[in-house]
Amino acid sequence: MQAIQAEQDGADRIELCKNLELDGLTPDVNVIKNTLISVNIPIKVMIRPRAGNFIYHYEDVKKMERDIDFCKDMNISEVVIGALTNSANIDIKLTDKLAARAHPMAVTFHKAIDYTEDILFELSRLSKIDYISSILTSGGENTALQGASMITKMIYKFGKRFTIIAAGSITNDNLVQVHDLINANEYHGRKIVCSF
């Protein structure tokens, strides 16, 4: 199990998802259960019901709510969510609803923010949702290195409100370079401590 190896290699948290080639979907129930009994570090669970865009309809939302409820029942420490509108803005109403449902679990807003038209404006809107504590981002680009300038702005303007987690092709080999450019408090990547 990759989660066990990640913990042994020094990871301080794990984000569980499946289908990484699709940017991650909600993992299967048994994967969540097995990971919980196999590792001692905090687990975040991706709440994303399907591949494609982040514009969700009634059935998607119902599935997300069920997945959040399951994670809460299993005492998962954090969930990762994100939703957009047709106009490439954050769906504040749905995000607020899902974040409130997840409470008292911590909530990270995922890289859906990178698909918005104005990341800093959207962060100001997200800042009004009490239960969102972290933002996962590559600064609107494919990689954290490419988005370093925007990530730095995000930290400068909103670093006291959110933990800005830099993501996007961050590995053990380039972590120092990324940190020198961004100086984030947290970094996200499956190859930071492991090679899989």
**pLDDT computed for residue 21 by the predictor:** 84
Nearest to 34 by CA among 23, 25, 45, 20: 45
Q: What percent of the chain shows pLDDT beyond 70?
A: 97
Which CATH topology does 45-188 take? TIM Barrel (3.20.20)
Query: What pLDDT shows up at residue 194?
Result: 62
pLDDT band at 172 (very low <50, low <70, confident <90, very high): confident
**pLDDT tier for residue 6 given thresholds of 50, 70 and 90:** confident
Domain ranges of the chain: 45-188
- Please check the confidence at residue 118 and state whether its pLDDT lies above 90: yes
* pLDDT reading at 193 higher than 70: no
Mean pLDDT of 174-180: 92
Whether residue 23 has pLDDT greater than 70: yes
pTM of structure: 0.93
